[in-house]
Structure 1
Amino acid sequence: MRDYSNQTTRRADARDVTITDIETAVIEGNFDWNLVRIHTDAGVTGLGESYRGGTVTDIMAYMADFLVGENPLDVERLFRRMVQETSGHGGTTGKVVTAASGIEIALWDLAGKLLDVPTYQLLGGKYRDDVRIYCDLHAGEAYAVDTGYTEYGEAESYQPDAYAETAAAAVEMGFDAIKFDLDTPTDNDPDPFNGRLSAADVAAKRDIVERVHETVGDDAEVAFDCHWDYSIDSAKRLARALEPYDLLWLEDVLPPENVDAQREVARSTSTPLATGENRFRVHEFSDLLYDFAVDVVTPDPTTCGGLAESRAIANRAEENYITFSPHNVCSPVGTMACVHLGASVANFGYLEYHALEVDWWDDLLVRDDPLIQDGRIAVPETPGLGVELDEDVAAEHAKGDSLWT
């Protein structure tokens, strides 16, 4: 087995640093946000975030057994060590990679602080001073998510006017890119299993898209998400029906496993298709990108392997002139990690913001101004990620008896 433990013997004194402890926390926002904090013997800490979901913090705590004593500046080597040390029990995909992603992000934060540069500088430099945000919206009280299970709202939440009113409000807030969920309760009627849309279903979705399009005009670009719900025939019919509305993209129209099916839909329509949030590491994106099965690729950096792995995906997308727009349902911590990534990627398009209903989202950081202003987030010039967690606010919303474990 390859040994990715520290094999080096030469290191300048100022960079001869070791990890002394790793702590985790779960914050209850609109999702459970899995935070991680890495301590060093230099007295400097790094903060990161992994994608939502149970047991992720347990895996991060397990990884501390072989990361304590390592030099945190070897970020990419340590990511490979995490994968290698866990390869016998899922280390190449799934929640193990998600756990490693949060630690990798915290290592980049640490490296920036130790070297006194912003994280984007370590990722290769800056293409832009701020990143464009698209706001993920729900029409009315459309649905709630509890541990990954979707509970749909009342019927009036899925009327075109409800979408239009929400879209107008978002544009008024300064967002010029927005996204709605286009899957609705009627998709499951009369058969909840076959993924087929009736002609009436397609017409109803077209009415929603048309109403939003009429409302925002040229003031905002609009995307719609389908959450992997449909059969290939339904996906084709829906994508074709939406062609007149010049969508930013139509996302996740098919279950994610079959790249050939995704490519078949992509080649049948002029509507741009997006997918990628539930793939892991660069290897799972290769066919998607090189077979041109997607127009916009949407990996989640807190899921797929962290910032360096996401940048590798972006590079492969750039080879094929494909836009890179990360999925993001994080707290401000993971969001700011994605901002540094977006600053360093040439083919970056948009970053998701999915916490409009969390009125204390900004309060989780120690700062005076809102993080998002006029639909943009400024790229920090302070070392590391440029964020400081407000421990009191975090403790108030922590899951469990204490903040850090």
Structure 2
Amino acid sequence: MENRLISDIVSENTNMRSGPSNLKITDIRVANIDGAPKHCPLIKVYTNQGLIGYGEVRDASSDTYALMLKSRLVGENPCNVDKLFNRIRQFGGHSRQGGGVSGIEIALWDLVGKAYGVPMYQLLGGKYRDKVRVYCDTDVDGKHTGTDMGRALKKRMEAGFTFLKMDLGIEMLLEEKGCLNAPMGFLDDIKKYSAKAVMHQSGSIDYELMRGENYRVFTIPHYATGIQITENGLDYMENYVREVREVIGYEIPLAIDHLGHIAWQDCIKVARRLEKYNIAWLEDVAPWQNTQHYVNISRATTIPIATGEDIYLHENFEPLMEAGGVSLVHPDVLTIGGAMETKKLGDMCNKYGVAMAIHMAESPIGCMAAVHCAAAVRNVMAVEFHSIDIPWWNDLAKGIANPLFQNGFIDVPDKPGLGIDELNEELIAEHLHKKYAGQWESTAQWDHEWANDREWS
């Protein structure tokens, strides 16, 4: 495949009925699915020539972030991606707030690829690799040991995955005596929230009933919670990781996420305990905005430090890289602003000698967007995957490889755009989110939304 000329690919895939210069956006609609692995708002951008571009709002977000952009895009040529992105970029923000702009940007590139008959990676400058490594995030439900986690990770290895990640959060210390100290009653709030979160995932409780604990617990930044890990807690966490390594060995990379809302000083204590276990990286150890906290942690440990899934726009990564706060950036294509922002971040990584891994916890639309970006960026280590245990996930999109994963890699498709022929509408109907109405229903209520968008006088 790698020896084929791009002219051959274009000739095979060009839609001869398409006139790219006359292509116009006519409508934008959404369908909200649940459990893939989270709430995923899917996007369709319709055109006057019958081409449909697929996009997706970031996981656990709102379709409003995309639909509010509709009146600013209908009637425009989707092939003018840079022009349209610069029109709507002001309406994006960090974390899930970047999902509307990012998802629309991906749908625009999908349309451009379909109109011209080329894969999305080619529109980003071509590919560095023909297949993309996937690292498999792994969870174990309920109270468990490091040995239990190690066995779960071992199954990923047996399935062919060559890179692993797990959580190592302070939540595991909540029921262990003498492992945490905190302001009186605060740990009880965390326990309540955690219990309701489990019930929410099972569908037995509404998010509204979690909201009180959520605001009390997780709107406080890490450095202001007052939570500290005791020596007993550090012993427990180190022993957990030691047990994991005893099962999976030391030949495979193991990254760690979700330490919890603890101050940077405690992150250093944890990191120093874990250095001997060859950790690939520690992720999101502080709010990403706290550059100096990342610098403090990075200087105090030999474990690579990573963050970035909640950062919108590539330039907002630069303070962390310039200061030496991270060894690896971890953007989500559906937060950063889409494919071109991911490409620009890759170029910036080259400037500072920083590696990249791509966060991805979405449907096959978000997954294929990440794959094309990973193919087009030189220094990508791997793309994350959260849905290996969801049997219907791969079937949501028609035309992609099924199974998508081969020995821990995804082959980069040469089909136009994202490489998705169409979505599995029957399967989407089975998994519609119960809180949202319908499947690709009219969004006419957004047709005339208007404001004076200019950012200067």
Asked whether the two chains share a fold, i.e. TM above 0.5, the reply is yes
Tell me, what secondary structure is at the counterpart of 2:68?
A: helix
Segments of structure 2 that go 5 or more residues without pairing to the other structure are 1-17, 175-179, 188-224, 442-457
TM-superposed deviation, 1:281: 1.0
Output the CA distance in 2 between the equivalents of 1:210 and 1:13: 60
Output the CA distance in 2 between the equivalents of 1:93 and 1:256: 10
Output the CA distance in 1 between the equivalents of 2:371 and 2:172: 37
Larger Rg: 2
Which residue in the other structure is 1:252 paired with? 284
Alpha-carbon distance change, 14 to 274 in structure 1, aligned in 2, over 3 angstroms: closer
Which residue in the other structure is 1:180 paired with? 166
What is the identity, as a one-letter code, of the residue corresponding to 1:68? V
Output the CA distance in 2 between the equivalents of 1:174 and 1:97: 33
What is the identity, as a one-letter code, of the residue corresponding to 2:159? M
Q: C-alpha deviations, 1:91-117, integer Å up to 9, x for none?
A: 454544321100001111111000100
| Equivalence map 1:289-368=2 (5 Å) | 289-367=321-399
Q: Which deviates more, 393-402 or 370-379?
A: 393-402
Q: Does 1:385 align with 2:418?
A: yes
What is the identity, as a one-letter code, of the residue corresponding to 1:385? L
Output the CA distance in 1 between the equivalents of 2:95 and 2:164: 28
Q: Does 1:376 align with 2:409?
A: yes
TM-superposed deviation, 1:295: 0.8
TM-superposed deviation, 1:214: 2.4
Tell me, what secondary structure is at the counterpart of 1:277?
A: coil
Q: Which deviates more, 75-84 or 223-232?
A: 223-232
TM-superposed deviation, 1:134: 0.3
Q: C-alpha deviations, 1:145-173, integer Å up to 9, x for none?
A: xxxxxxxx3x2x2x111111101111111
Root-mean-square deviation (CA, aligned residues, Å) is 1.7
Which residue in the other structure is 2:50 paired with? 43
TM-superposed deviation, 1:331: 0.9
Q: Does 1:114 align with 2:118?
A: no
Q: Does 1:208 align with 2:251?
A: no
Q: C-alpha deviations, 1:253-296, integer Å up to 9, x for none?
A: 22333110111100111011111111111232110111110011
What is the identity, as a one-letter code, of the residue corresponding to 1:214? E
Which residue in the other structure is 1:17 paired with? 23
Output the CA distance in 2 between the equivalents of 1:253 and 1:288: 13
Which residue in the other structure is 1:403 paired with? 439
Residue correspondences, number: 373
Alpha-carbon distance change, 350 to 36 in structure 1, aligned in 2, over 3 angstroms: same
Tell whether the 8 Å contact from 1:230 to 1:255 is kept in structure 2 after alignment. no
What is the identity, as a one-letter code, of the residue corresponding to 1:105? I
TM-superposed deviation, 1:67: 0.3
Output the CA distance in 2 between the equivalents of 1:268 and 1:227: 17
Tell whether the 8 Å contact from 2:306 to 2:330 is kept in structure 1 after alignment. yes
Tell me, what secondary structure is at the counterpart of 2:69?
A: helix
Tell whether the 8 Å contact from 2:19 to 2:115 is kept in structure 1 after alignment. no
Q: C-alpha deviations, 1:282-334, integer Å up to 9, x for none?
A: 23211011111001100111012111111111211121111110111111110
What is the identity, as a one-letter code, of the residue corresponding to 1:404? W
Output the CA distance in 1 between the equivalents of 2:251 and 2:397: 30
Which residue in the other structure is 1:133 paired with? 134
Tell me, what secondary structure is at the counterpart of 1:133?
A: strand
Which residue in the other structure is 1:66 paired with? 72
Q: Quote the sequence identity (%).
A: 35
Segments of structure 1 that go 5 or more residues without pairing to the other structure are 1-11, 142-152
